[in-house]
Structure 1
């Protein structure tokens, strides 16, 4: 029989229930915070069991927000991926720089190494599967493709994932059922479904994130010292997500920024109306604070110097 851990705020005085719930989260899951969304009647409960590798959990509670910040991550002693859903209630999730409304039955993959926020305003009836980092990354080539993005539970592979997810909760009998050597098969099914979903979600998500980053870069490339962190913040992405999205398209932040600046400079150098501007001034207006850096980048991408390019274009 699989082991079962249960916790409930029912036996605690009202004034101690929130503190007790926070302590239970820290002890059984991760360092994170819970904030109630109603003045009275706060309650929470948790059931958790262990399969061969993954840890199914079922949580109930009053409306609340749960968050994990950078300080919580720094204090933590372990990390994991979590597959989270609410079969009957909608909720909101924010991770990887985007906030999403999650409909009942849809699932979201969370990486505890990055900050997150959950808004359970409609109530907390959460199903969660804790999965080791190395286990998920064995099955899914690039888990970041799925992080923070709802997977629909009513169509395609998402429907199969929903069935597996809901069958693996303590309330569905996962804790009382004997293993009989089946745990590894169940977990392999879960890993395989995540792999299929990761492959399907990757190109579309990376392309959309990359497009947002490029739009910001095109609007701000002329600003000297423009950083990837600034672009990520304006594009609504985490820094890690920005680099990951650009890499998926065969790009890098710095190379893309230099290309935008050189292309803009070439456009100005080729126009007679800007003939009165020095080459160095053209570079400065396109984001190059240093004239020699401008010349090197231009030569690398155009196989000629800015001055020679201008002379040829205006001949």
Structure 2
């Protein structure tokens, strides 16, 4: 679904917003301006864009939420991307690691202590807490997987030790990861499994591709966090589902439950809202459930207040539930 602007950066509870944008609807000058403004406005990783080419601007951007992750799929002209160093202390969930996969076109990356080239078909991890520069010399296609550091640390014992090391995506265990990233980019709206589970699979594939022998996710605390996520996925339609109830069923305190999810880079409310909206999107766009009223869709997805549901839906999809159904 094409928007009038590049996708907006999600707030807490909007983790799975999906948007698509193309420059075709604008003049070259206006499209380039919107492109730069979008990336300059990213909440956690704002970047400055300098275009190298004087040719008419042409670009495409797809943004998909996958559980706690965000995946950007870009087709863009030659450009330089500069991310300024973040001076203030980052909240745990705002410390992000980017996995940038150069599908077509090479780029040079400079970061604190690193200066390396990423060739077509390679990927690299980059830390958003430090300044970095990416120089794309030619028109390029890339996937940028944005991951909260605490979430990635479930799968990699020391994520920072893997920074700045280009990884071929056609060798060893990397091809399944490359295939999954491209499939999400191109077919994300048709994902048959809950997206938090897809994110978990991505984490394990990253660990496999990097040769990690034992992921942190096998620890009891990580298994508990996964149990909480699965409970949200299975019981999202229950309007009484709460962190207190889930904590009691798992025989842990609510405070510990919240700490587990914070350590995974998310929160109970964020995950529950994202899953409920994901299910509502499926019901609103499925011809088999077209007869359901918007209020009934809200109720089936665990929302008791249709007005609150409509506000949350609009925040995520930039459209009311009724408008979204009509556009499907």
Q: Normalising by structure 2, what TM-score? A: 0.53
Closer, same or farther: CA 79–17 of 1 in aligned 2, 3 Å: farther
Q: Structure 1: which 5+ residue stretches go unaligned?
A: 202-315
Question: Superposition pairs for residues 35-184 of structure 1, below 5 Å?
Answer: 35-70=50-85, 78-169=94-185, 172-174=186-188, 176-181=189-194, 183-184=195-196
Gap change, CA 1:116 and 1:4, over 3 Å in 2: same
Does residue 33 (structure 1) correspond to residue 48 (structure 2)? The answer is yes
Q: Are 2:201 and 1:189 aligned?
A: yes
Give the alignment's Cα RMSD to 1 decimal: 2.8
Q: TM-score if structure 1 supplies the norm length?
A: 0.55
Cα shift readout 1:168-203 (whole Å, capped 9, x = no counterpart)? 21xx201x214543x2332222212333455659xx
**Is the CA contact (8 Å cut-off) linking 2:68 and 2:199 kept in structure 1?**
yes
- 1:224-239 aligned within 5 A: none
Residue equivalent to 1:13? 27
Structure 1 segment 273-288 matched on structure 2, within 5 A: none
Query: CA separation of 1:51/1:130 partners in 2, compared to 1, >3 Å: closer, same or farther?
Result: same
The change in CA–CA distance for 1:39 and 1:87 in structure 2 (over 3 A counts) is same
Structure 1 pair 152–98 and aligned structure 2 pair: CA distance change class (3 A)? same
What CA distance in whole angstroms lies between the structure 2 residues aligned with 1:41 and 1:75?
40
CA offset at residue 56 of structure 1?
1.6
1:26 shift after superposition: 3.2
Deviation of 1:89 after TM superposition, in Å, equals 2.0
Task: Kindly indicate whether structure 1 or structure 2 has the higher relative contact order, using CA contacts under 8 Å at least 6 residues apart.
Answer: 2
Distance 1:46 1:76 in 2: 27
Decide whether the 8 Å contact of 1:136 with 1:143 is kept in 2: yes
Cα deviations across residues 245-275 of structure 1 (Å, max 9, x unaligned)? xxxxxxxxxxxxxxxxxxxxxxxxxxxxxxx
Question: 1:96·1:147 contact (CA, 8 Å) conserved in 2?
Answer: no
**Residue 156 of structure 1 aligns to a residue in which SS?**
coil
Report how many residues are paired: 196
Q: Is the 8 A contact 1:141 1:195 kept in 2?
A: no
Cα deviation, 1:31-76, whole Å, max 9, x if unaligned, reads: 1111111123123331111122211211111111111122x66599
Shift of residue 79, structure 1, vs aligned partner: 3.8
Instruction: Give the superposition deviation at 1:108.
Output: 1.0
1:44–1:61 Cα contact (<8 Å) kept: yes
Whichever of the two has the greater Rg, that structure is 1
Structure 1 CA distance, aligned partners of 2:178 and 2:148? 20
Q: 1:22 aligns with which of 36, 46, 51?
A: 36
